[in-house]
Amino acid sequence: MTKKDLTTANKIKETARRLFTEKGYGRITTRDIAKEADVNLALVNYYFRSKDELFHTIMFEVIQGFMGQMVVLMNDDHSFEEKLELVVSNYIDLLSEQPNLPIFMMSEIRNHPQEMAERLGIAKMIREAKFFKELAERCPEGVPPIQFFMNILSLTVFPFMGKPMIEAATGMEQQQFNMTMQMRKKLIPQWILGMLNPPKQ
């Protein structure tokens, strides 16, 4: 049940998603995809007109999925603190399974500004989400809410992007890294709340 729908088209798309997110558009060939998906080369073009279109389809779905989840969580009916924990916990779980997602999104989005522009609708939905407004109300004077939104994303997402580096630098194993990230589910919300209520000096 990990991957439903084993139609040929889906086999190609899921394989391509994995390969593209692992190595990026430029390092993956249509033959790589066909071979890894165990289908005939021509089927890639048969089901998706071109490598480019296949890539765009995948990028669209990945961004849609990532951002869409965020919007849902940020409009949840729980308290601010609970939503904070929810967002952090949800993305740590998601990225523990798909650690390549952020680098893929960031690096390929840069090459496709127009796709990003189309996603602006979702971006707007994020800014208008309940969580974002509650965050704005709690900001210390003089510090705009975007700073704290950056912080939540930074603390949650960056470690996965820097994972190969961090593992090499610290001698961590895969499992130890995952435990470190699990620990952050509780720590990050605490840290963020601490930032929002800075000690008076």
Partner DNA sequence: TCAATAATTAAACATTTGTTTAAATCAATT
Partner DNA sequence: AATTGATTTAAACAAATGTTTAATTATTGA
Residues that bind DNA (CB under 7 A): 8, 28-31, 39-46, 49-52
| Residue 121 near a second copy by CB under 8 A | no
Segment interacting with a second copy (CB under 8 A) among 5-13, 30-38, 41-49, 193-201? 193-201
Integer Rg of the chain from CA = 19
Please report, as a single letter, which amino acid is at residue 164: P
Buried b (16+ CB within 10 A) or exposed e, 44-53: beebbeebee
CA–CA separation, 40 vs 179, rounded Å? 41
Would you state the structure tokens that stand for residue 37, as one six-digit string?
Answer: 């998906």
CA–CA separation, 97 vs 81, rounded Å? 25
| Residue 8 near a second copy by CB under 8 A | no
Residue number, 47 or 130, with CB nearest to a second copy: 130
- Give ∠ CA 146-150-154 in degrees, rounded to 5: 175
Q: Least CB distance from residue 17 to a second copy, whole Å?
A: 16
Q: How many CA atoms lie within 13 A of 144 on its CB side?
A: 3
Binding mask 159-178 for a second copy (x = CB under 8 A): x-xx-xxx-xxx-x------
State which of residues 44, 74, 103, 129 lies at the interface with a second copy (CB under 8 A).
Answer: 103
79 binds, among a second copy, DNA, none (CB under 5 to 8 A by kind): none
Segment interacting with a second copy (CB under 8 A) among 3-11, 26-34, 49-57, 88-96? 26-34
- How many beta carbons lie within 10 A of that of residue 162, not counting itself? 14
| Residue 154 near a second copy by CB under 8 A | yes
Q: Which residues contact 83 (CB under 8 A, 6 or more apart)?
A: 73, 74, 76, 130, 131, 134
Applying CB under 8 A, which residues contact a second copy? 22-28, 100, 102-103, 105-107, 109-111, 113, 116-117, 119-120, 123, 126-127, 143-144, 146-147, 150-151, 153-155, 157-159, 161-162, 164-166, 168-170, 172, 180, 183-184, 187, 190-191, 194-195, 197-199
